Chain A
Amino acid sequence: MPQPVTYRGMSLIVPDNDSEWKDYYAHARQHRLMLRACKACGLMRYPAMHACPWCMDLGWTWKEVSGRGTIYSYETVVHAIQPGFKDATPYAVVLVELDEQRGKPTADEALRIIGNLVKPDAVTFEDTKEVAIGRRARVVFQDLGESMALPQFTLSDEPPQGRVWRLPE
């Protein structure tokens, strides 16, 4: 089993038999965002589960995506409960809807991934005044040791998609 990675006081564990996450994080360490795609119907899914939720087929391949998308929702943590995040508050967590497969197979579906909103260096948390639904973001990878990297999101300079909104404060 690979050694656990320590990050912000947490021990992140991805053992060799973690058939959901091991390859996903190994790809992330190569700075590639790879999702499982169904061999039967071709639809991708996230997280990397073992059956296709659309056709129940068990066959899959890894498919690389651009990592570009739009912020679908967000939150700003002001009171951290995890000790390792206390010195990082306030920080933004974003739910990014990837460009690939938006509105498929139904209008309400999309590939949605969680990350922190970070600066382009992938490490420094972005000013929370910058976060808003509708703003464009792209994936960046925060290396954690030799075997793992966290996919994070940073704002891109593309024009926003649809209405831009953030909580009035």
Chain B
Amino acid sequence: MAMKTLKDKYCIVGVGETEYSRGSGRTTRALAVEAMRKAILDAGLRASDVDGVLDYQGGDSTFANHVAPDLGIRLNFYMDVMGGGSSTEALVGLAMGAIEAGMCNTVAIYRSMNGYSEFRIGGTGARAAQPVRGMDLAQVPFGMRSAGQTFAFTFMRHMYEYGTTSEQVAHVKVAHSKHASNNPKAIQKERVTVQDVVGSRWIVKPLHLLDCCLETDNATCIIVTSAERARDLKQRPVHIMGVAGRVSKPRVDYHWVHGPISRVAGYYAKDIVFGQAGIGPEDVDVTGSYDAFTFTTMLQLEEYGFCKKGEGGAYVSSGIIELGGKRPNNTSGGHLCEGYTHGMSMVIENVRQLRGTVDDTCPGAAEGKHSYDYSVGKCRQVRDAEITMNLGWAMPATGSALIMRR
């Protein structure tokens, strides 16, 4: 059944983030307040203009009704949602729905986490010692607990079915490291080679250390409002063409039960999001495919149709996803190099790409003046970027997507 579309009726008008660090020395509440304040100022709004707040977390963060009053925001709508990756895009859709329903006018969406210094996403520390009960009994007693461990069956099966190689997938890290070298915010700015990736130590085969993202302390925030309201604001509005939220395969909890396990949720999400936007993969200039691991970027790009199913290895190693290539992916360096944010930083980056004001080292970057010289330490703005697409990943069985235009 065809789904409804709100194409071009809503915009992202403000973005903000804290420093990406490995030791913030602050609470998640302090981080969230800073990120939200920056996003409000970026939009040219006042606190009293924001009346809705959404956030997501996994028992590791602060709450909307704590953060908003700290900034003097009186709420007409708020909600704290459980979840990690793929939540950003889903909450953009929920924000549009809340505004469309007349519940509020302008929604700030944030994620705040001390993902390195407090709650390690990788499952080490306190989380590794928790009692095992309920659905965990199907996998944790077998030494399978972290994200990499629970996704590795999918990655390995993809290699078996399609001949995908470690070297091909390593190009994702290579490309993102190239982008991060031009991003002053990035935690890891050094460019790496394929040999660096496949020569790094094993974590859980087929993942090497450099196939895995960087646990990070940070907060990120974006602001959604109507296109009508956006016209009067400070920044060039970025229009939302299509959104799909937490689209899932038939089984989510025990995702490895349902085959083919080399298939990911984009298989179902692509028709929803491209259908709303009225475009196809060929029309997209910049992608932001979630890179918790190199493999997640590759799997989603092929599932959404940027190449044929099974050809993701060839696609990511072709140069297409690098700055200067036909369709760069994660121009900020992403979770592999800039820092791990559960997806929101990739939406922020694409908003800035569409504004033409990516925060690289070009002296006129804030006014949209760029050199387009992608050598080390220089530019990362994509020339004339008109349409971007974010591919959010929670796990093989759940994903979200967001298409935006300038």
Interface residues of A (CB under 8 A from B): 4, 7-15, 18, 20-21, 25, 46-47, 53, 72-83, 85, 88, 90-91, 93, 95, 108-110, 112, 114-116, 133, 150, 152, 163, 165, 167-169
A-B contact pairs, 16 of them (CB 8 A): A8-B143, A11-B132, A47-B138, A73-B156, A73-B160, A76-B204, A77-B143, A77-B149, A81-B146, A83-B128, A114-B142, A114-B144, A116-B142, A116-B143, A150-B142, A163-B160
Q: How many residues of B contact A (CB 8 A)?
A: 45
Could you say which of B142, B250, B259 contacts A93, with CB atoms under 8 Å apart? B142
Residues of A within 8 A of B122 (CB): 81
The digit string for B201-222, where 1 denotes a CB below 8 A from any CB of A, is: 1111110000000000000000
Interface residues of B (CB under 8 A from A): 122-124, 128-129, 131-135, 137-146, 149, 152-154, 156-157, 159-160, 165-166, 201-206, 250-251, 254, 256-261
Q: How far is the CB of A19 from chain B (nearest CB, A)?
A: 11
| In contact, B137 and A75 (Cβ under 8 angstroms) | no
| In contact, B152 and A75 (Cβ under 8 angstroms) | yes
| In contact, B129 and A9 (Cβ under 8 angstroms) | yes
Residues of B within 8 A of A80 (CB): 143
| In contact, B160 and A47 (Cβ under 8 angstroms) | no
Residues of B within 8 A of A163 (CB): 160
Given contacts A75-B152, A82-B145, contact A167 B205 (CB under 8 A): yes
The docked-state distance in angstroms from the alpha carbon of A10 to that of B129 is: 7
CB-based A-B contact count at 8 angstroms: 131
Q: How far is the CB of B252 from chain A (nearest CB, A)?
A: 12
| In contact, B157 and A79 (Cβ under 8 angstroms) | no
Apart from A82-B128, A150-B141, 8 more pairs, CB < 8 Å = A7-B141, A13-B132, A53-B251, A93-B144, A110-B259, A112-B257, A133-B157, A167-B166
Given contacts A7-B141, A80-B143, contact A18 B204 (CB under 8 A): no
Q: How far is the CB of B60 from chain A (nearest CB, A)?
A: 17
The docked-state distance in angstroms from the alpha carbon of A35 to that of B378 is: 59
The docked-state distance in angstroms from the alpha carbon of A43 to that of B317 is: 43
Given contacts A9-B129, A167-B159, contact A76 B205 (CB under 8 A): yes
Could you say which of B165, B204, B254 contacts A47, with CB atoms under 8 Å apart? B254
Could you say which of A20, A112, A152 contacts B134, with CB atoms under 8 Å apart? A20
Residues of A within 8 A of B128 (CB): 81-83
Given contacts A77-B149, A165-B160, contact A10 B201 (CB under 8 A): no
The docked-state distance in angstroms from the alpha carbon of A77 to that of B156 is: 13
| In contact, B143 and A78 (Cβ under 8 angstroms) | no
The docked-state distance in angstroms from the alpha carbon of A133 to that of B134 is: 28
| In contact, A14 and B137 (Cβ under 8 angstroms) | yes
Q: How far is the CB of A126 from chain B (nearest CB, A)?
A: 13
The 5 tightest CB contacts between A and B, nearest first, are A75-B152, A78-B202, A73-B153, A108-B259, A76-B205
Could you say which of A53, A72, A75 contacts B205, with CB atoms under 8 Å apart? A75
Q: How far is the CB of A15 from chain B (nearest CB, A)?
A: 8
Residue from the set A47, A91, A110 with the largest chain B CB neighbour count within 10 Å = A47
Given contacts A80-B143, A81-B146, A114-B139, contact A11 B204 (CB under 8 A): no
Residue from the set A8, A12, A95 with the largest chain B CB neighbour count within 10 Å = A95
Q: How far is the CB of B180 from chain A (nearest CB, A)?
A: 23
Could you say which of A12, A81, A93, A150 contacts B123, with CB atoms under 8 Å apart? A81
Chain A: CB-nearest residue to B203 = A79
| In contact, A75 and B156 (Cβ under 8 angstroms) | yes
The docked-state distance in angstroms from the alpha carbon of A8 to that of B132 is: 12
| In contact, A95 and B153 (Cβ under 8 angstroms) | yes
Chain A: CB-nearest residue to B155 = A75
The docked-state distance in angstroms from the alpha carbon of A9 to that of B132 is: 11
The docked-state distance in angstroms from the alpha carbon of A24 to that of B156 is: 28
Q: How far is the CB of A119 from chain B (nearest CB, A)?
A: 15
The docked-state distance in angstroms from the alpha carbon of A156 to that of B278 is: 53
| In contact, A133 and B132 (Cβ under 8 angstroms) | no
Chain A: CB-nearest residue to B259 = A108
Residue from the set A7, A81, A90 with the largest chain B CB neighbour count within 10 Å = A81
The docked-state distance in angstroms from the alpha carbon of A85 to that of B142 is: 9
Could you say which of B131, B141, B157, B257 contacts A4, with CB atoms under 8 Å apart? B131
The docked-state distance in angstroms from the alpha carbon of A148 to that of B263 is: 34
Given contacts A14-B133, A167-B159, contact A79 B254 (CB under 8 A): no
Residues of A within 8 A of B206 (CB): 75, 167
Q: How far is the CB of A17 from chain B (nearest CB, A)?
A: 11
Residues of B within 8 A of A167 (CB): 156, 159, 166, 205-206
Residues of A within 8 A of B251 (CB): 53
| In contact, A82 and B256 (Cβ under 8 angstroms) | no
